[in-house]
Each structure stands twice: as C-alpha cells, then as structure tokens.
C-alpha cells in the first residue's frame, strides 16, 4: 500500500487535497463508501458546521464570454488585438477596461484563469459546466444547484421549511439547471424578468370556487393514486405532492422575495437598468429568504463577429450588476454564507477571425468564485500570452471547480450515488482546488 501524503509537507504550490475516496481506495475500503450516512458525508467536507455556506448564486454568461476582454486580459500582446485593461485593487491583477466596479472588488473573489473543458459546442459546453460531467447517452446529470438541494438539509426560515422553491433560475434561456437523474423535483424553478410578477401564482377564480376545485381534485386523486408510486407519507402521489407545494407557494408571504419593485429606488438603480441587473437584485432577495441556489443568465456572449463591440455591451450590463450584488451580500452579512460563481461554457480564441470575432475556445478560460469562506484577491492559473500553447501549463478542470464548491458546502463529492439505470456515479469526478480554501 502506498504511504499516504504528509499534509504538513504540502506547500502552496500543491493545488489539490487528496479526496476521501482516494484515501479509501488506498486503504482498500472503496467498496464501503455507500455505507456512509448523509450526516457523516456532510461532516467530511467542512469540520466546522457553522462555517459552511448556505446558498449558491451562479451568474451564467451564456454564449462563451471572452476571457481576453474580461478577467484575463493581455494588453499590448498580439492576442489582445487592441483590447485594453485596467488595474484592480489587487496588485498585479488586471481586468478588461469595461469592468471598473468589478475591479474595485477584486479582493473579494478569486479568478480561475486556467479552466479547461473538452467541450467546444454550446449545448455540450453548458451541460459540462453546469453539471461537472460531459454528456452521456441515456443519462442526464444534475446541475450543481440540484446536487446541493439533494445533499443538504432542506433550508428553513423562521423555523419552517421554505414555501418557495429552493432552486431558482432567472432568465434561464434554453438551459436552466436540471435535477437530472435525481428527479424533476430538483429542477430549477424558472422565472423571467423580475420586473414582472411570478407567473401562475394567483387564482383566477373566487376562494369558494377554488376550494370546490380542490375537493374535486381530491376525489380524482384518490382514484388515480391506487397502485401508483406514493410519496414518503404513503398517502399521496408525487403528483399530488407537487400540487400541494404549488398551493402553499401561492399563499405564501415568501413570494415577496421575488419582488424587486419594493426595493429602494437607489438600490434598483445600482444594479443597472437591465434584465440581468434586476435578476441579480432578485437573487439577493431570494438568498436572503433562504433559497439554496439561484442562477441568473446573461445571454449574448457568442461573439463570432465584432467581438470587441459586442463584448463591451455585455460587460456594461455585467459590471454594475455583479458589483452591486457583491456589495448587497456584504452589507447584509450574507457574503460568507453565499458562494458566488461567474461561469460560462468556454472562452474565445486568442486570434480574431475574418469577421473581427473570436470563436469557441475551451482550452483556457476564466471562472470567478467568491464568498462562502473562499480565499479571494487572487488569480489562479495563467494562459499563454502568445496564444501559441493550446492549454495552460497547470489546467483546472471543470470538475475541479464543481468539487471545490461542493467541498466548501460540506458535501462529500466523491460519494457515489446510484442512478436509475443502476450505475454508481460519484457526485463529482474532480478534486477541490487547495489555493481557494
């Protein structure tokens, strides 16, 4: 048997901790991993229960945001093609010139500049980044938000479970977070521009008629449920459980968490006059209410033509919204309880094409991670300033990003779940990045 590493000998240059699963393999006990109860699995990832974050916010830049005009600029180099950079509050760290507010908060998050993926297609890349796995025929993997909702205890507010969904996707486009093989109950609840009320949560008839409809539904359910899959109470079908959840949500005061119109006007303006800005403000309210995971999508980063001009427009939407969200979380004492991830399916090529655009580039792009006790104020990894090397010298895999988030929440990401087809799969196939902890 190999001698386990001496943790005291590890230096800051060692990027990864050994996982519990790797240690079990070394001891010949890997086959006993399924015996570990959830309570013990949660204890593995974080020794201090009170230090774990409670919520995750994913800001999704759909289309493939250019790292060279955002978080990994190389001003003056050929690959910049004229793109300029600005200094941040972290010495030696620069961002694209369109991110002045984000640059002022650079101490509050880390930039992973050497993320690599094996997927250069939009749909496959989004799947990979949101689940930590590459697409596999006949199996849909859960997104990171779904994993957290499945693995962690149900969030409560005022001593009671939430009446609103614990996994929410704002402006989801075509790819919201999904529960995958964990079940549709872990799919993200989808809402559009928060300037509008949550759809379908108000009854269209008077209370008396609504009550009659419920009684009629009970009669139908009693017949329908015979011989069909029941929930844990053994009394109602899963269909009826979903109806009950919807009814509680319709009458819940917690719906106010979606409402940004009641926020002070100055606070609304700080996020910018955009759908994405309003989505970020709504995400703050939802996390404040106890929602486990919120993702907000900013679409339009697929800059195959006029990259500089089109990226600048997207950056102008992102910068005030992201900065206001970080400041809002800090002002409410929620930043250490919340991990914020800024992700995208891949980056853009070091060279411009004939249409002055940048094409797909999964060989070294940027992801931001902050809050939740993660170590900010640093750039981890680097890309080749000449653009000649296809991948960074020390790449960070997509699955490593997922493993880091899960580890910080106290989830044993190496634990194997059994899929509906009977195949055991680890929650994540990555290893957490040591430099972030």
Structural domain count of the chain: 2
**CB within 8 Å of 321: residues ≥ 6 apart:** 271, 272, 274, 276, 277, 279, 280, 281
Taking only the tens place, the pLDDT of each residue in 116-165 is: 999 999 999 999 999 999 999 999 999 999 999 999 999 988 888 899 99
Residue 302 and residue 175 share a domain: yes
- pLDDT value for 53: 97
Among 7-11, 195-199, 301-305, which stretch is predicted with the lowest mean pLDDT? 7-11
The boundaries of the domain holding residue 117 are 19-197+259-436
Give per-residue pLDDT as tens, 64-106: 999 999 999 999 999 999 999 999 999 999 999 999 999 999 9
353 plus 231 within the same structural domain: no
Mean pLDDT of 304-328: 98
- Is residue 119 included in any domain, yes or no? yes
Domain boundary among the residues 238, 257, 276 is at 257
For 285, phi and psi rounded to 5 degrees? -65, -35
Q: Which of 240, 257, 274 is the last residue of a domain?
A: 257
What residues contact 425, with CB distance under 8 A and at least 6 apart? 141, 416, 417, 418, 419
Residues linked to residue 189 through DSSP beta bridges, in sequence order: 168
**Domain final residue pick, 213, 231, 257:** 257
* 211 and 168 inside one domain: no
Say yes or no: 169 and 246 in one domain: no
Asked if residue 3 belongs to a domain, the reply is no
Return the higher-pLDDT residue of 21 and 334.
334
SS (H, E, C) 15-67: CECCCHHHHHHHCCCHHHHHHCCHHHHHHHHCCCHHHCCCEEEEEEEECCCCH
Q: Is the same domain home to 23 and 137?
A: yes
Instruction: Name the residue with higher pLDDT: 405 or 206.
Output: 405
Confidence of residue 42 (pLDDT cuts 50, 70, 90): low
pLDDT above 90 for 227: no
Same domain, yes or no: 83 and 190: yes
Could you tell me the pTM of the whole model?
Answer: 0.86
Cβ 285 vs Cβ 257: under 8 Å: yes
Are 330 and 415 found together in one domain?
yes
**Long-range contacts of residues 192-200, Cβ cutoff 8 Å, at least 24 apart:** 193/275, 193/278, 193/279, 194/170, 194/258, 194/259, 194/260, 194/278, 194/279, 194/281, 194/282, 195/260, 195/261, 195/275, 195/278, 197/258, 197/259, 198/255, 198/258
Confidence of residue 364 (pLDDT cuts 50, 70, 90): very high
């Amino acid at each position: 048997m190999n001698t386990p590493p001496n943790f005291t000998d590890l230096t800051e240059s060692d990027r990864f901790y050994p996982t519990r699963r790797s240690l079990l393999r070394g001891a010949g006990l890997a086959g006993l991993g399924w015996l570990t109860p959830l309570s013990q699995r949660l204890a593995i990832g974080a020794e201090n229960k009170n230090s774990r974050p409670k919520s995750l916010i994913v800001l999704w830049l759909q289309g493939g945001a250019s790292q060279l005009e955002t978080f990994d600029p190389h001003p003056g180099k050929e690959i910049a093609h004229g793109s300029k950079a600005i200094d941040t509050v972290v010495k030696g760290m620069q961002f694209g010139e369109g991110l002045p507010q984000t640059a002022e908060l650079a101490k509050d998050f880390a930039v992973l500049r050497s993320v690599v993926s094996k997927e250069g297609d939009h749909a496959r890349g989004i799947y990979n980044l949101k689940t930590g796995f590459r697409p596999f025929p006949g199996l849909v993997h859960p997104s990171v938000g779904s994993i957290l909702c499945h693995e962690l205890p149900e969030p409560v507010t005022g001593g009671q479970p939430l009446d609103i969904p614990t996994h929410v996707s704002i402006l989801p486009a075509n790819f919201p977070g999904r529960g995958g093989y964990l079940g549709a109950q872990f799919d993200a609840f989808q809402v559009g521009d928060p300037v509008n009320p949550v759809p379908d949560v108000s009854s269209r008839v008077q209370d008396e008629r609504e009550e009659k409809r419920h009684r009629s539904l009970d009669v139908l359910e009693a017949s329908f449920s015979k011989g069909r899959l029941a929930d844990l109470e053994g009394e109602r079908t899963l269909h009826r459980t979903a109806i009950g959840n919807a009814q509680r949500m319709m009458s819940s005061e917690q719906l106010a968490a979606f409402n940004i119109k009641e926020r002070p006007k100055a606070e609304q303006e700080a996020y910018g006059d955009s759908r994405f800005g309003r989505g970020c403000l709504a995400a703050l309210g939802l996390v404040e209410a106890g929602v486990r995971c919120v993702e907000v999508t900013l679409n339009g980063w697929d800059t195959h033509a006029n990259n500089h001009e089109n990226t600048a427009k997207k950056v102008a939407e992102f910068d005030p919204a992201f900065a206001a969200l970080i400041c809002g979380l800090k002002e409410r004492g929620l930043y250490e309880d919340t991990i914020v991830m800024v992700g995208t399916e891949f980056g853009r090529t070091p060279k411009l094409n004939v249409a002055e655009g940048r094409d797909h580039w999964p060989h070294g792009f940027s992801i931001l991670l902050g809050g939740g006790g993660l170590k900010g104020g640093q750039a981890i990894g680097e890309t080749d300033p000449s653009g000649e090397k296809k991948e960074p010298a020390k790449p960070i895999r997509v699955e490593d990003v997922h493993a880091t988030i899960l580890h910080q929440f106290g989830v044993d990401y190496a634990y194997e779940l059994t899929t509906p087809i009977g195949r055991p799969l680890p929650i994540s196939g990555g290893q957490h990045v040591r430099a972030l902890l």
